[in-house]
Structure 1
Amino acid sequence: MSNGVYSALSGARARTQMLDVVGNNLANANTAGYKKDRLAFEALIDGARQRSLAKGVNFNRSSEGYTDMRQGTLEGTGNPLHVALDGPGFFKIEGQGGTFYTRQGNFGLDAEGFLVSGAGHRVLGDNGPIRLTIEDEVRIDENGRIWNGEAEAGRLAVVSVNDARTLEKRADGLFAPTADTIEAPLERPTLVQGRVEASNVNPLEEMTLLIEAHRSFESFTKVFKIYSDVNSKADELGSLG
């Protein structure tokens, strides 16, 4: 089979992965604190071998996926339990299987009065989960300290990590630490009450990428069909000879 067929197949597969990633980004364009994903592509054969072995035909695949951790805009909600991080850092969340990080600050209260994330996971303070009463006013200062009426109810645990690339992205806006993740308390966080960080997805940019990936996919499938037809004709001619 011609090298061109494999090149078309690898290109089509890579664009299919791109379509999945961009589609997921668009689906979460309005999800608080969501961080968009990206794919990087690489050639399967280096330049010298590509010229000699592959006759100049390009074989490529997605080399890795990564999450763009740039901050989204801060949007006002007026909800006193909502809080946004303006700058670096993560909130700590108590989830199934351990402790996780998130940038989502659209918090609420569960039936027992504990502060929880939008997905219902308990939000951690410096001394564990934070419990509040809705009867009293809730105030959160820029350092993460929470007052429930006149009483200080705790301080939100806000941390930094050595390298965000060591985190594993999970559902519900959570990031899981790995063996390479080093956590440290963020000494001077900047929190804003009554706001949430919006998704960092730019719908117009994602739509452009979606159209480009779709067109590239169609081009690769057309090339694949052409090579397949040529190979079929070559096989027919070979059998006649």
Structure 2
Amino acid sequence: MRDSSLSALFGALSNEMRMSTIANNLANVNTTAYKKDHMAFHDVFTRFAHDYVVTTKSFLRGKDMFPEPKIMAKTRLADQSVNFSQGSLKKTGNQLDLALSGEGFFRVESPEGALYTRNGAFLVDATGTLVTQQGNTVLVDGGPLVLPPGAKVTVDDGGNVSVNGEPAGQFDLVTFDDLSGLERVGGNYYIAPDDAAEMPPEDLVVQQGYLEQGNVEVVTEMVEMLETQRAFEMYAKMLKGTNELDKQMIQRIGRITG
């Protein structure tokens, strides 16, 4: 296969992955506290042997001993990360809706272990326990918070909870030194690496009666989608053109050898 075909193939596959990421971001534009994915690409250069020969002393010979360096580039996925920038806040007036302003997460307990989320649209299950939309337990002082029927819940800026005027604990609010190590696991949850240590968040404010909106900018994503589509079409044309050249070469060789 020609090098041009390989470069076009890798370019097309990279743009296909980029398009999938953009489509997923747009699909979650209305998801509470959703954080968009970002992909970065770079070129991997293939060097020839003479590309490593670098001589600055041009006076040693009258002409270059080696041809000009020719470096081939093939696109590769360099990084896929989550953009944890702050989303806007929407007022709901619901006492169990909580928005986080600043860097940090609610810690919740699931059958698989500890999960982290910024989606504060909480509910009360049949047992009176405060849970997430998926039924996972929201942790307050390391354990569940059980609310009596018709309870009035008050949450201050620091995440301290009062039930019917009586202190009931503080939400487990945590952050990490390196957010890039967090892994998205679906349901707007994240898990942390085994060696990641939880830290108390700084300058994190809890706003009761609000929900954080996703940080996806529709216009920006649509522009990137058009750019990605055009790039994919360009690489597809390169593949088609290279294929036609290969066919012509095979036909000519066949006539000569025949």
Q: Tell me the CA shift for residue 15 of structure 1.
A: 0.2
Does residue 226 of the first structure (1) align with residue 241 of the second (2)? yes
For 1:35, the equivalent position in structure 2 comes to: 35
Structure 1 unmatched ranges of 5 or more: none
Instruction: After superposition, give the CA deviation of every residue in 1:78-126 in whole Å (9 maximum; x if it has no partner).
Output: 1100111111111101123110111111111111111111222111111
| Residues 41-52 of structure 1 aligned to structure 2 (within 5 Å) | 41-45=41-45, 48-49=47-48
Does residue 216 of the first structure (1) align with residue 224 of the second (2)? no
For 1:137, the equivalent position in structure 2 comes to: 152
For 1:17, the equivalent position in structure 2 comes to: 17
For 1:3, the equivalent position in structure 2 comes to: 3
Structure 2 unmatched ranges of 5 or more: 52-68
* Inter-partner Cα distance in structure 1 for 2:177 and 2:71: 41
* Inter-partner Cα distance in structure 2 for 1:49 and 1:179: 42
SS in 1 for 2:253: helix
Please identify, of 133-142 and 197-206, the stretch whose mean Cα deviation from structure 2 is larger.
Answer: 133-142
Q: Tell me the CA shift for residue 37 of structure 1.
A: 0.3
For 1:63, the equivalent position in structure 2 comes to: 78
For 2:111, the equivalent position in structure 1 comes to: 96
SS in 1 for 2:45: coil
Instruction: Give the letter for the 2:28 counterpart.
Output: N
* Inter-partner Cα distance in structure 1 for 2:241 and 2:127: 64
Instruction: Give the letter for the 1:195 counterpart.
Output: Y
Instruction: Give the letter for the 1:102 counterpart.
Output: T
* Inter-partner Cα distance in structure 1 for 2:239 and 2:133: 46
TM normalised by structure 2 equals 0.87
Instruction: Give the letter for the 1:136 counterpart.
Output: A
* Inter-partner Cα distance in structure 1 for 2:202 and 2:248: 70
For 2:176, the equivalent position in structure 1 comes to: 161
Retained in 1: the 8 A contact 2:45–2:71? no
Instruction: After superposition, give the CA deviation of every residue in 1:193-238 in whole Å (9 maximum; x if it has no partner).
Output: 0001110100111111111111111111111000011111111111
For 2:207, the equivalent position in structure 1 comes to: 192
TM normalised by structure 1 equals 0.93
Retained in 2: the 8 A contact 1:50–1:57? no
* Inter-partner Cα distance in structure 2 for 1:152 and 1:145: 8
For 2:161, the equivalent position in structure 1 comes to: 146
Matched pairs, number: 240
| Residues 78-97 of structure 1 aligned to structure 2 (within 5 Å) | 78-97=93-112
* Inter-partner Cα distance in structure 2 for 1:4 and 1:117: 51
* Inter-partner Cα distance in structure 2 for 1:86 and 1:92: 16
- RMSD of Structure 2 on Structure 1 (CA): 2.0
Please identify, of 116-125 and 181-190, the stretch whose mean Cα deviation from structure 2 is larger.
Answer: 181-190
For 1:112, the equivalent position in structure 2 comes to: 127
Retained in 1: the 8 A contact 2:130–2:147? yes
* Inter-partner Cα distance in structure 1 for 2:235 and 2:71: 16
| Identity across the alignment (%) | 33
Q: Tell me the CA shift for residue 151 of structure 1.
A: 2.1
* Inter-partner Cα distance in structure 1 for 2:102 and 2:89: 11
Instruction: Give the letter for the 1:70 counterpart.
Output: S
